[in-house]
Structure formats: structure tokens, C-alpha cells
Structure 1
């Protein structure tokens, strides 16, 4: 009887993964999945309440039996390892995989943004006196020194015409260089400050399969770039007082090698991967949030999540609350897009969370990445042209107190 139940559970979820894969193909294989012009099937009233759906989804996911994730392999530069990935804070350039490729003559767009609206913005950040927006479906990164000017007053850092940049998702800086993922080209672009502003000076080619999310971590003095379709973390560093970039590690998490995972979060020495969708329908694993040690990449915890929030985008720990943006359910349906919060990931796993998307951000779109700028949180969103970027404030406990549509 136990064998029958386990076989049934695996077969049912294998079928659901196949449906997910078909939907992923029909939506698009780009990082964002939907342009601002996408029309969804929403409009019919759902007879079940949100609470009922959440509870049912939690019961389905948490009661199933799956292959354990403990047995999957972690590789460092292609070899199994046991120890710390980054041994010290002072990289001296002696131990690395490859150096960046230099861009001859440097490359800068030197143009003004021509688009009056954003098309699937995925990231907003503040670097060296300017706000930067990754305008994903326009394949450009734009910047300006305020958030009140019309978008047609913003300047273009890079775009498809100047560098071939295509459908990138994030940009980040350590104060010396800026790194941006170039998703469709499987590249990472490196920008350095010159007299005329930041300029593209270095490139890394062959960075996984759709690099989708990049962050800088001060504690390890390293950039981390996630390859969303191959389960690989690319780690970049540079020597002190030298801007030449080095690829030092490629960490392969085989548990995630067949799953489309949009982002990761570094928090208090831990590394969280949000739940994703099976890339080809062949995954044997439950939809889970996975927690790893930042230094050794050893797995510490896994949390099953309800099917209706399985297609997650990002996790942020704000005050005492964990916030997660959701793009789709396990079947790839964007009508499930939402933003939730709870005091713990265990609460989210069991379905005990609060939905804040409709309350503070109107709803109806797809919330994407969150980011903190000068004590104010920001949220990017797509499918709704009237509000593509929001700001929101929280109290000391992390609960949202107000929100404002920026663009």
C-alpha cells in the first residue's frame, strides 16, 4: 500500500511537471516569461476563496513523498568538494578559472531612452548617484539621478544596438565596477567608471544557460551570478585596487539543474533558492525553497511549498517577515501571480501566509524583483503598463505600511 501511494504521488507530479513544461514553452523561454502586452485568461470569478486555494495547495505539496535532495551532488569547478568555496577576503589573482575578455576601445551607448514606458522592468537599484532600471523587454539598462523625470529623459547605459545586450535582468555594483547579466546571450557585462560615466570594458561569455540574477556580497567580497536553467552559480572577484574581473568558481547544484529558478537570496550567511518550475518536465523533486550554507554550499534545509505559489520569483527577509514574489503556479499560469509574506519560511511552506499584492499593489500584474534603496523598498512589476515600479515602506517589524506607484 505504501509503495502504491508513493508511485501514485510521483506519477501525478510527473504529469503536473509535464504540463508545466508545455506551458513554459508556450509562454516563452525568456527570463521574464511575459511581455507587458500579454493577455491572460483572468476575468472569471473563482468560486474558491484564496484561503481555500492556499490551504489545498499546501496539503497537496507537503503530504507527497519524493526523492530526497540530500543525495544530489554539489560541484566546485566540476569536481566534488568538501570545504569553503571562498577561503579569505583578499583575492590575489592567483587562483581562478579565467579572466574577463577586454572590450576594445570601450563601449558606451551615449543615447537617451526613446521609450515613454517600461516593458517588463525587472530590477531597480541606486549606484553612484544614479538610479538604474533594467528594462528587460526593451533590452536596455537606463539611468537617471531622480525618479520624477519622464522616462524619455533617462540615459541608456547599454542596449542591444551598442553591445548586443538582450533581455537582461539585474545590475549590481561593489563601488568599483558594475556587473550586469546579459540573459539571452549567456554573458556577464562589466562596466567601469570613466570621465564620461560608466562604460562597458569587459565581458564574460559562456556563462551558463540564461544567467538571470546577480548580487554582490560584501562579506565574501564576491559577485554571485545565477544561471537560471542549469543550476550553476558563477562567482566573480577582482583584486584590491584593480578592476580586472576574474571568474573564480562555478558551483553546480545538481538538485537544481533541471529547474527554472529565477533568483537566490543571501541572508545571514545562508543562501536561499526560491521554488522554480521544471525546465523539461523531468524533475522528480517537490517544489521547494532550498537553504544552503553560503561558504560550503552544503544543503541545510528544504521547504515544500504549495503548488499555487510554486513559480516563485524572489525572497527577501524584511524586518521579522519573509516576503516572496510569485510569477506563476506550478502549471505556469500567471493568473496566480502574487506577493506574500509570513514570519517564517515554515509558515509559507504550510500555507500560513498573508497575501499583500492586491492590498498594496493593486494586483493583476506580475510582481518581480524587490530591492532596498536608502531605507525604501522597491518592487518591479510587469503586465500592467500603468504601474511598473513601486516603492513601499515597512514598519520595524517588516509589515508594509504604504506603497507608491513610481512609473
Structure 2
């Protein structure tokens, strides 16, 4: 049997062993008891965070498998947050629907909301903290601006705001730092690669993206492969961004039911959030480019009346 065929067979067998964690009362649960479009999950300084976007809140826990109703609430008055990043003390999340950023400081008594940075026009959509530069980076999806922020005396300040014309006024949902460069997912029918450490964000490379993959959500490099999530309903990996004909379908193999959104890596696993028509968080391990231990950690299925009503509260 060829290696690719063996990999497919093994992944199918693994899917048969996936542990489902859908609560029996998911259809009738209150919004506080379940997720609705959890855009992002991450781990920072021993704490797990979920941006429960369409429930307009951010929650956190010391146990990633704890039932959602038992997670602590960082903020439940934040309009459709997409991600959160932190340096261990200072944390920044997008108040996407209000075009601003919210800053939280971790103190000995817990989290304190310390700043609201307004005027980040155009839907701030993705925030990353980069230890190499000790700076935060925030991308606005509608206006194609990249904000660079730093922490001075415990206070977050905006260092620069750069418009990225090579995005061609397209809606760009995310970016990642890969091998010392910044990779922007395709909005303008291309994956774009830029310098960022010198503050110029000058374009270094671009890869054409075929139709069907252009509305990308996220990109990560894991092992030899680039992993890419796409709106609607595609999750793929490939070794060469110049050749999408080699893309391996992970969406079907892993049993996704909604839109695969942002990815993250912690605790030796890759985590992928699932949003829109179906809310869940999936994880898997990668060793020598082989995928194993596919799991569904939080599975809440289609939205119920409680979360649909919660989404309408802030109208975004």
C-alpha cells in the first residue's frame, strides 16, 4: 500500500475512535453553558482562553477540558472578539464590532480591564504577540491596516499603523509568523509574505490561490506542511504553496461539520476551532507529518435559540 493510502486508512480508523463531548442538553443550554462560534483557543502562561465570538465574550480556565459552564469569564461585554494574545501580564483582544482593542492586565488578584483603545477602524480581526520583537500586531480585516503595539510602563501604546496596499482592499481574516516572516491568508486571491521585524511590512513573496480556496481563515506551518482553513468548509494541508493540486483534504477525514477557523498549537497538539453553523473545538497530534489522536474537545453542534438571541444583542 502506498504511504498516502496508508495515511488515509489510519486517519479513518482514528476518526472511529474520536471521543465526542457534546452535552446532552446542548439544544436547550443557556448561552453561558455552551459555545457559539468559538473563533480562537490558545494557552498563555498556564491559562486557556477561548474567544466565544458570537456569544460576545472571552472565557478562560486552567483545565482545557473543563465543561464550558465552569470556565471563568474574562469579559462578556465585548463585541464578537476573534482572538486574544498576551505576554504573560498584558493581554489584548479585539472588540471587533466596536472597532477597538481591549487591554487586560493580570495582577495578583486576577484580571483587570485596564484600557480600551478606540479608533482601530475596519474590524480589528487578528492579534498576535511576537516574543522575538516583544510587540503585539493587530490586523484590521476591512481596512487592511497593520498596527504595531508595545508595552511601556505597563501601558499599551500604538507604535505604528501601516496600510498594506498589496492586499488590494480585500477582506483578510488572519496572518501568522512563520520562519521569521509574516504570512497573510488569501483575501486578494494570493497568500502574501512580508517582512515585519524591520517595521516595513514590505512584500517578499506571493502565492496565487485557485478559486475555491480564496476566502481563507488561517495558515500555519507544522512540520513539512502548511495547514490552511477556508471559509466555507475546507481544511487542507500541502507542502508547496505554489501547487494547490497537492492539497490533502483534512475536513472530511477529521469529520468537520462547520467552518474550520483559527488554529493554534499548545500542549503538543494542534487545535482548530469550528464556527458558524456548528460550534466545536477539535484537536490532533502531528508527529513526523503523520496525524493522530483526532479528538473533539468541546462539541456544541448547531446554534440554539439562546445563543442566537445572545448574538443579536450586540448586533454583530
Compute the TM-score of the two structures, normalised by the length of structure 1.
0.63
**How much is the aligned-residue C-alpha RMSD, in angstroms?**
1.6
2:241 matched residue in structure 1: 345
Q: Once the 2 structures are TM-superposed, how far is the Cα of residue 363 of structure 1 from its aligned partner?
A: 2.6
8 Å contact from structure 1 (residues 315, 325) kept in 2: yes
8 Å contact from structure 1 (residues 309, 326) kept in 2: yes
Q: Once the 2 structures are TM-superposed, how far is the Cα of residue 170 of structure 1 from its aligned partner?
A: 0.3
Distance 1:135 1:384 in 2: 14
1:210 to 116, 123, 127: 123
| 1:168-207 residue CA offsets vs partner (Å, 9 max, x unmatched) | 1000111220111111111111110123311110121011
8 Å contact from structure 1 (residues 232, 257) kept in 2: no
8 Å contact from structure 2 (residues 31, 55) kept in 1: no
Q: Secondary structure at the match of 2:226?
A: strand
2:287 to 395, 399, 404: 395
Q: Once the 2 structures are TM-superposed, how far is the Cα of residue 384 of structure 1 from its aligned partner?
A: 5.1
Distance 2:228 2:263 in 1: 9
Larger Rg: 1
Q: Once the 2 structures are TM-superposed, how far is the Cα of residue 141 of structure 1 from its aligned partner?
A: 0.1
1:140 matched residue in structure 2: 57
Distance 1:291 1:301 in 2: 5
Q: Secondary structure at the match of 1:308?
A: coil
2:179 matched residue in structure 1: 268
Q: Does 1:173 align with 2:79?
A: no
8 Å contact from structure 2 (residues 82, 125) kept in 1: yes
2:214 matched residue in structure 1: 310
Q: Does 1:121 align with 2:121?
A: no
2:166 matched residue in structure 1: 255
How many residue pairs match? The answer is 267
8 Å contact from structure 2 (residues 41, 49) kept in 1: yes
8 Å contact from structure 1 (residues 270, 293) kept in 2: yes
Q: Does 1:246 align with 2:157?
A: yes
Compute the TM-score of the two structures, normalised by the length of structure 2.
0.81
Q: Once the 2 structures are TM-superposed, how far is the Cα of residue 265 of structure 1 from its aligned partner?
A: 1.0
**Greater share of residues in helix:** 1
Q: Once the 2 structures are TM-superposed, how far is the Cα of residue 292 of structure 1 from its aligned partner?
A: 1.0
1:381 to 249, 274, 292: 274
1:184 to 89, 94, 97: 97
Q: Once the 2 structures are TM-superposed, how far is the Cα of residue 257 of structure 1 from its aligned partner?
A: 5.2
1:94 matched residue in structure 2: none
Q: Once the 2 structures are TM-superposed, how far is the Cα of residue 344 of structure 1 from its aligned partner?
A: 1.8
Distance 2:113 2:168 in 1: 30
Q: Secondary structure at the match of 1:301?
A: strand
2:307 matched residue in structure 1: none
Structure 1, unpaired ranges of 5+: 1-112, 277-285, 328-333
8 Å contact from structure 1 (residues 181, 189) kept in 2: yes
| 1:207-247 residue CA offsets vs partner (Å, 9 max, x unmatched) | 131000000111111100000111100000013xx211110
1:293-332 paired onto structure 2 within 5 Å = 293-294=195-196, 295=198, 296-327=200-231
Structure 2, unpaired ranges of 5+: 1-29, 299-316
Q: Secondary structure at the match of 2:32?
A: coil
8 Å contact from structure 2 (residues 104, 112) kept in 1: yes
8 Å contact from structure 1 (residues 223, 237) kept in 2: yes
Distance 1:225 1:291 in 2: 16
8 Å contact from structure 1 (residues 120, 135) kept in 2: yes
Distance 1:208 1:255 in 2: 19
